[in-house]
């Protein structure tokens, strides 16, 4: 879902999803609700190149709930308590995955650049790049394409698929 100055800003901000950065300010703001179709009504292209950039870079947040934590612990074959102790941090009333000092996600294999819990990755990661913060305006999407090599090319996702992804979590 995305860590920068290594990369830039977008993923980073996305990952952050907080108030410290304009974009990923985890813009919980949904696209303008109108009777008109969104600007991406014809769909958007995306195919992950598995570069790992959305999981690395400057500090940010990957929000997780208990069911996601349970699933990741299961995939790793460890107890939930152990997973929480090693990989989860409390942020106010919410919880986020721990990061390495450089901002990389603790679950990103530094050698392979692959997610170590890919099959059970959190919804925030699954729905990238179809986040509210990336879709509010075409300009936001264009910025996303600048930091994610998979965005803007590859498989064409339909409006329905995009809206379904957005509905899963506001990021
Ligand atoms: S192509 Fe995009 S979604 Fe895939 S790993 Fe790279 S930055 Fe993340």
Instruction: State which H helix or E strand residue 141 sits in.
Output: helix 138-147
Distance from C-alpha of 53 to C-alpha of 160, rounded to nearest angstrom: 26
60: Cβ below 6 Å to ligand 1?
no
Question: How far does the centroid of ligand 1 lie from the alpha carbon of residue 100, in Å?
Answer: 19
Pairing of strands 44-46, 151-157: antiparallel
Judge whether residue 88 has pLDDT over 70. Answer: yes
User: What global pTM score does this model have?
Assistant: 0.80
Tell me what pLDDT residue 35 has. Answer: 66
Find the 116 Cα to ligand 1 centroid distance in Å.
Answer: 15
Give the CA-trace dihedral at 114, 111, 14, 78, to 10 degrees. Answer: 60
What is the percent of the chain where pLDDT is above 70?
A: 80
58: confidence class by pLDDT, cuts 50, 70, 90: confident
pLDDT in tens, 92-105: 999 999 999 999 99
Per-residue model confidence (pLDDT) at position 29: 42
Structure confidence by residue, pLDDT tens digits, 130-144: 999 999 999 999 999
pLDDT-derived band at 8 (thresholds 50, 70, 90) equals very low
Are residues 144 and 151 in contact, defined by beta-carbon separation less than 8 angstroms? yes
Selected residue with higher pLDDT from 44 and 31: 44
* Mean pLDDT value of segment 148-164: 98
Residue 34 scores a pLDDT above 70: no
Task: State whether the beta carbon of 170 lies less than 6 angstroms from ligand 1.
Answer: no
**Residue 149 pLDDT:** 97
pLDDT at 135: 97
Q: Between vectors from CA 65 to CA 60 and to CA 71, what angle results, nearest 5°?
A: 105
List the domain boundaries for the chain: 9-17+40-168
Give the pLDDT band of residue 18 (cuts 50, 70, 90).
very low
**Cα–Cα distance, 88 to 49 (Å, whole number):** 27
CB 50 less than 6 A from any atom of ligand 1? yes
Ligand 1 touching residue 105 (CB < 6 A): no
pLDDT at 27 over 60: no
Q: Look at 9 and 101; give whichever has higher pLDDT.
A: 101
How many other β-carbons are positioned within 10 Å of the β-carbon of residue 98? 13
């Amino acid at each position: 879902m995305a860590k920068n100055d290594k990369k830039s800003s977008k993923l980073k901000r996305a990952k952050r999803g907080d108030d410290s950065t304009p974009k990923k300010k985890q813009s919980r703001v949904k696209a303008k609700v109108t009777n008109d179709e969104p600007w991406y009504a014809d769909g958007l292209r995306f195919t992950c190149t598995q570069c790992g950039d959305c999981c690395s870079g400057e500090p940010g947040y990957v929000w997780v709930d208990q069911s996601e934590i349970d699933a990741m612990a299961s995939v790793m074959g460890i107890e939930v308590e152990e997973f929480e102790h090693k990989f989860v941090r409390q942020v106010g009333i919410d919880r986020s995955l721990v990061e390495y000092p450089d901002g990389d996600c603790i679950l990103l294999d530094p050698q392979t650049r692959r997610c170590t819990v890919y099959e059970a990755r959190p919804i925030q990661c699954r729905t990238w790049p179809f986040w509210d913060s990336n879709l509010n305006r075409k300009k936001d999407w264009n910025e996303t394409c600048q930091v994610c090599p998979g965005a803007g090319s590859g498989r064409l996702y339909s409006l329905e698929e995009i809206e379904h992804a957005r509905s899963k979590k506001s990021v």
